Amino acid sequence: MNCIEANEKMAGLFDDSVSQETKEELFAHFRDCSDCRTLYEEMSKAMAELKPRVSVNASRNLHAGIMGQVLKSRNPYQARRGRILPMLSPTWKKVAAIAAILVVLFILIPVFNRSGAFQIKASAATTLLKNSMHALSDIKSMYMEFEVRTLEGDNFEYIDRNSDFVEHKIWAAYGDTARWRIEKPGRTVVMDGKNQYLYTSESGIAIKSGPDAGYVEWMKILLDPVEILRKEKAFASGENGTYTISENGNTIVLTVHAKALGDFRNTYALNKSIPESNTRRVYTFEKSTSLLKSFEMYIESAGKETKILEVKTIKYNEPVEQAVFTITLPAGTNWVTAKEIYKQAGIAGITGEEAAKMFFNACHNEDWKTVRQLIPGLMNFVQMEFIVKAEYGGLTVISIGKPFKSGRYPGEFVPYTIRKKTGSIKTHKLAVRNDNPEKKWTVDGGF
């Protein structure tokens, strides 16, 4: 049996529609072919996750049809040229999107029934499953406009309840490789199908990284609306949150109450990012297509809610120009790879507090070599170098406090008060981290 035959017959293993002889031939092939064996293991795991906890009246042909559609999307020889991570592969995207609907219907429903919050007939599973598959085949592109209370130019995950709303935009094109763009004033990230590119106009930072760079953080969930249900279930599993779901005419409304994630013995990072906030997230889907229509998010604090994010526009299947998935840099600015940035970064053998003191002392002495080592790569950019030298050159340290941890940040926050050369006083927290194999400390932000 060759790979093409194995791919064609593999679906039969999941609904027991192949003969014992064919089963033996398939498993013999899996022993010799790591690519087909890996595909079978991926699908076995996916189907195990999708196993119903309620009785559903669906034919065996439906099950086989799902797996058949998944298998048809995969080139059996593509993996030999270099496997794509499951999160990015067409096969896995289809399995995951089907899982989105099944997870809500088969896994979450028993929770709702126990609490009395929601009742639904299991027979609705077939309808919503078909809608999910229909959405998969129809979505070729997406354009989204949404607003977030945040600061222009800052990280996409950063939020501030006291800030004004800042406009964000997303363009996404779906196919064998993901292409997307997310931008707000002062900050843009593009994925061109191979690499991610981050550009911040104020500092002139332009970094090229691999496909899995975390430049958009939590907002990556919005890049593929078909997978929102699956991702939200994973995010709010266990003790992290609760779900409710309701129908209203031609819409299905999913509401997620998610608890803040992280260590908040010190509350400094509480409500600084979406995962580090107690939130209520309201997704509205069109029942007939299972496509996302609107989305709102609220932060819950001190018994009050503040709207922090609202989707204004979503358009599907509109043409997207190729130029959208590129960033044109201004003259004199060039891309720097993440590998180059971190090649000589950091200082080992010290504490986080010592790293903070070393950074500020280097700024005081205008020792830019040490500054470059502690803020990896940023001094490679002309605008950033100018900002750091102008703002912090010749400063005077007034106090350095004791480091503390808060939220999900893997490093430490070090309180400080400094007097700039201009005479102005600044009090803030310096973020330092050493979560790398060499345990080298770097300055990550807060200056």
Q: How does pLDDT run across 393-447, given as a tens digit for each residue?
A: 999 999 999 999 999 999 999 999 999 999 999 999 999 999 888 899 999 888 8
pLDDT band for position 196 (50/70/90)?
very high
* Predicted pLDDT at 224: 80
pTM beyond 0.75: no
Percent of the chain at pLDDT exceeding 90? 41
Q: Give, for 326, the enclosing helix (H) or strand (E).
A: none
pLDDT band for position 47 (50/70/90)?
low
- In this prediction, residues 352-358 reach a mean pLDDT of 96
Assigned token pair, 131:
């809608």
* Predicted pLDDT at 442: 92
- In this prediction, residues 155-166 reach a mean pLDDT of 92
Question: In a 3-state reduction of DSSP, which class is residue 343?
Answer: coil
* Predicted pLDDT at 62: 36
* Predicted pLDDT at 258: 87
Q: Are the CB atoms for 335 and 206 separated by under 8 Å?
A: yes
DSSP 52-75: -SS-----HHHHHHHHHHHHHT--
- In this prediction, residues 174-186 reach a mean pLDDT of 91
All domains in the chain, ordered by first residue? 3-137 (no CATH), 139-325 (2.50.20.10), 344-445 (3.10.450)
12: left (phi over 0), alpha (psi -120 to 50) or beta: alpha
Tens of pLDDT, residue by residue over 89-101, are 344 444 444 444 3
Q: Count the Cβ atoms, other than its own, within 10 Å of residue 171.
A: 20
* Predicted pLDDT at 411: 95
Q: List the single range of 98-112, 130-144, 288-302, 310-324 with lowest mean pLDDT.
A: 98-112
Q: Are the CB atoms for 412 and 356 separated by under 8 Å?
A: no
CA distances from 385 to 200, 360, 373, 389 (A): 14, 15, 13, 6
C-alpha to C-alpha distance for 240 and 443, rounded to whole angstroms: 30
Looking only at the bridges linking them, the beta strands covering 336-337 and 304-316 are: unpaired
CA–chain centroid gap for 297, Å, is 16
Q: Count the Cβ atoms, other than its own, within 10 Å of residue 263.
A: 12
Q: Are the CB atoms for 180 and 191 separated by under 8 Å?
A: yes
